[in-house]
């Protein structure tokens, strides 16, 4: 599995996809946080925090992560290399997990440069260092979990089609529904007292909870479960080719 993981990471970094994803992510975040005269502009608001990063990043990930993962299995199916991959002495779940980890590593790499924002705000604070470091790390952990969930969903979508564009569209739709779809459903009167249950299924609910800097085991269990469900579903789709 380790060899496959290295191959997947090299595949991302040897093409423009990985670099473009990271550059676009950092560019969009930087523009909203430092350039555009919006409420998210840190210099304009004068608050010593980087909360705009954690508010904007999920929406950028909503499109960038599907763009990263759309080729995971779709390209393998289109080129026919999926058959060769499945005959290797490695279990299907290991193949799926290796592709998941490769996507997750790329997401983590894209977040590393944003630590410069923290350093900048740390220095700009009055007094210097006037920033909630604990809350910031909690928000980063929440963003990593959210990114991991989107990667798992994107890989599942990629396994459903050999067309990368279709995989991308499905991944965006699935991610959007899991992120805010349950929130919108819970606001409808037809579900009555089930609204709290629907909210508990929403990625946004658990992400917001972790973004407050409080790492609750229930939120972590939710993300681990969600990632596990989609990875298991991906393995099921891959195994169905053998039936």
The tens digit of pLDDT for each residue in 197-218 reads: 888 889 998 998 888 777 788 9
Band of the pLDDT at 125, cuts 50, 70, 90? low
Q: What is the pLDDT of residue 42?
A: 76
Number of domains in the chain: 1
Pair of tokens at residue 99: 């592709």
Q: What is the pLDDT of residue 192?
A: 64
Segments forming the whole domain that contains residue 229: 2-242
- For the cut 70, the answer to whether the pLDDT of residue 130 exceeds it is no
Band of the pLDDT at 169, cuts 50, 70, 90? very high
Band of the pLDDT at 151, cuts 50, 70, 90? very high
Residue 106 CB-density burial (10 A; 0-12 exposed, 13-18 middle, 19+ buried): buried
Band of the pLDDT at 162, cuts 50, 70, 90? confident
pLDDT average, residue stretch 40-50: 73
Cis status of the peptide bond prior to 127, with omega within 30 of 0: yes
Report d(CA 160, CA 241) in Å as an integer. 11
Band of the pLDDT at 231, cuts 50, 70, 90? very high
230 vs 15, higher pLDDT: 230
Ranges of H-type helices in the chain: 2-14, 16-30, 42-45, 51-69, 74-79, 81-86, 92-111, 115-124, 133-159, 164-176, 182-186, 195-200, 203-211, 217-239
26 vs 40, higher pLDDT: 26
Q: What is the pLDDT of residue 100?
A: 93
- For the cut 70, the answer to whether the pLDDT of residue 1 exceeds it is no
- For the cut 70, the answer to whether the pLDDT of residue 31 exceeds it is yes
Which pTM was predicted?
Answer: 0.90
Residues 103-114: pLDDT tens digits?
A: 999 899 889 998
Contact present, 33 and 43 (Cβ < 8 Å): no
Report d(CA 136, CA 211) in Å as an integer. 8
Q: What is the pLDDT of residue 242?
A: 57
Q: What is the pLDDT of residue 72?
A: 82
Of 137-151, 187-201, 215-229, minimum mean pLDDT range: 187-201
Pair of tokens at residue 90: 């490695």
Of 59-68, 69-78, 143-152, 169-178, minimum mean pLDDT range: 69-78
């Amino acid at each position: 599995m380790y060899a496959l993981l290295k191959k997947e990471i090299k595949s991302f970094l040897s093409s423009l996809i990985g670099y473009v994803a990271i550059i676009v992510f950092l560019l969009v975040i930087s523009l909203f946080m430092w350039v555009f005269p919006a409420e998210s502009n840190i210099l304009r608001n004068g608050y010593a925090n980087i909360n705009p990063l954690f508010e904007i990043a999920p929406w950028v990930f909503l499109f960038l992560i599907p763009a990263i993962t759309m080729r995971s299995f779709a390209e393998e199916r289109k080129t026919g290399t999926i058959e060769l991959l499945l005959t290797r002495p490695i279990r299907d779940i290991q193949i799926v997990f290796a592709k998941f980890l490769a996507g997750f590593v790329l997401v983590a790499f894209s977040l590393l440069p944003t630590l410069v924002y923290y350093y900048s705000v740390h220095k700009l604070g009055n007094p210097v260092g006037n920033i909630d470091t604990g809350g910031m790390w909690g928000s980063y952990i929440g963003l990593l979990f959210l990114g991991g969930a989107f990667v798992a969903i994107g890989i599942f979508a990629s396994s459903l089609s050999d067309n990368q564009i279709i995989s991308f569209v499905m991944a965006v739709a699935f991610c959007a529904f899991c992120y805010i779809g349950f929130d919108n459903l819970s606001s409808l009167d037809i579900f009555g007292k089930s609204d709290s249950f629907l909210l508990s299924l929403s990625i946004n609910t658990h992400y917001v909870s972790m973004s407050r800097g409080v790492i609750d085991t229930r939120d972590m269990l939710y993300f681990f479960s969600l990632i596990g469900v989609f990875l298991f579903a991906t393995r099921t789709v891959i195994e169905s080719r053998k039936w």
